[in-house]
Structure 1
């Protein structure tokens, strides 16, 4: 019998904790060759999530939890669970039941077939606002165009992994974590199972449009230097364009004279060049900011209680 540790980052999931616990127990009741170990990561919840987890633990000795000292985010929660749990196989999933536990048997079957990692990929985004779906699809197109790390469109963090994969993932100990990129970067034989989108059961997602936008920017910066190349090319093109414009102005003044002293369009050129410089500084600043955070080498999470 193999132990399977299910890592469930939870932030304000009071109503969903008992539901996902019940669904997992029902799923593994039909898997006699596997032993379920559930790890809830309470990521600074302000509702009764921790109490719900403790209730589940009182009913099931194979339920464990990590109570974070504050909210460190889902990425830190996954890292905390994977680095703390001990098992033969590991799985990561959300607490809101958008990751169907019914897919776990097929994922485990994929591991038996020789895959090192079996994940889930949504084939649609029904139930999401159209603008959010548009930018999500745009993100996958952009990052796969500029990054050498493959990221499957619609891929979720929901997946089953072998110990070897988890060891590789944990070896990437950067503070700025983008797990979809990390899972792709470590490689290994991977399979994705398609499924239709499932809406969360209770509560509201903590992922706003702005937080998802910042998360996507982090992913691009973490796994590509294309933005730096982009501003370099913009600077080169701007310099060449300005040089050509200068030649044109000098030649025109030599032939036709310069009837407009002060030339107001000079101000426009200054503003354009200044804007490009600020854009370049902003992009470079994002990379420097990432370096600054990593150089401080702060822990990825702080646990208040592990039980």
Structure 2
């Protein structure tokens, strides 16, 4: 009998977990000839999420497993830990807040069973209930990253997806310290079919993803899968250099043509110095961001540290 592993990264989901488990169970029990296991990953929650996981494990110790981190390592680390722990022939990743509809699971399984696809993902076709500015930034992010990266990330794509063991192993083979799963899922390839749905509100609790955190996450994604910022630094430096040469030639020519008016004053000079200095700092900052990622990678620190596992 094939096995399906359900991986659920959790951070402060004490209110959602008691609702998540019965909702998913109601759906998966309708899928015949399929063994189910759960892997709940506590990403160093500050509430009673771990206690709720222990309760679920006590109710069904054979199928419900959990692991908790020694501190908060981030959702990407929790997702990776869950994939490492999963033993199923197929693995599905979903959130505990039920924004990923469990009702899709039978359809996802039936599609992946045909052998035509290695992954069945989901994408939101609208963002009803979400702040307009947040939605605007999200839409622009997909537009930008698909232009500057060789990977094609489907707009609105969620981490909610069902994958074959072969694809999961490919994802796990990427031992990157800085992880951007949407980009990784795209980079490893494999044929993927996307199911569309409208935005679903959280069943309980509040999201930890503020606009600022999402912005930083987007910047990490661009840095992880594109060298465009480095190219931008090169072009800015080149443009600045060319304009400086043109300006220098202009000043020399004007000195010989109009000697009396050749002095521009210190204000103009300060503006030019600040402009060039700002461009230099911008370019150094871009290069430094990439060097920082290299620095963290070569340290070879673990992606996560487990405190408790059942």
Q: 1:209 is matched with which residue: 208, 211, 215?
A: 211
Q: 1:152 is matched with which residue: 154, 157, 162?
A: 154
Residue number in structure 1 paired with 2:136? 134
- The reply to whether residue 81 of structure 1 matches residue 72 of structure 2 is no
- The reply to whether residue 55 of structure 1 matches residue 55 of structure 2 is yes
Q: CA deviation at 1:104?
A: 1.0
What is the CA–CA distance in structure 2 between the aligned matches of 1:121 and 1:47, rounded to whole Å? 30
Q: Secondary structure at the match of 1:188?
A: coil
What is the CA–CA distance in structure 1 between the aligned matches of 2:308 and 2:268, rounded to whole Å? 64
- The reply to whether residue 175 of structure 1 matches residue 172 of structure 2 is no
What is the CA–CA distance in structure 1 between the aligned matches of 2:25 and 2:166, rounded to whole Å? 26
What is the total number of aligned residue pairs between the two structures?
307
Query: Does the 8 Å contact 2:70/2:305 carry over to 1?
Result: yes
Query: Does the 8 Å contact 2:39/2:85 carry over to 1?
Result: no
Residue number in structure 1 paired with 2:93? 92
Residue number in structure 2 paired with 1:165? 167
TM-score with structure 1 setting the length: 0.98
Q: CA deviation at 1:258?
A: 3.8
Q: Secondary structure at the match of 2:261?
A: coil
Q: CA deviation at 1:85?
A: 1.6
Q: Which of structure 1's runs of 4+ aligned residues deviate more than 6 A? A: none
TM-score with structure 2 setting the length: 0.97
Q: CA deviation at 1:288?
A: 0.5
Gaps of 5+ in 2: none
Higher deviation after alignment, 109-118 or 169-178: 109-118
Q: Secondary structure at the match of 2:223?
A: helix
Q: CA deviation at 1:189?
A: 0.8
- The reply to whether residue 280 of structure 1 matches residue 246 of structure 2 is no
Query: Does the 8 Å contact 1:7/1:91 carry over to 2?
Result: yes
- The reply to whether residue 303 of structure 1 matches residue 297 of structure 2 is no
What is the CA–CA distance in structure 1 between the aligned matches of 2:260 and 2:177, rounded to whole Å? 58
Query: Does the 8 Å contact 1:28/1:35 carry over to 2?
Result: no
What is the CA–CA distance in structure 2 between the aligned matches of 1:104 and 1:277, rounded to whole Å? 51
Q: CA deviation at 1:247?
A: 1.2
Q: Secondary structure at the match of 2:272?
A: helix
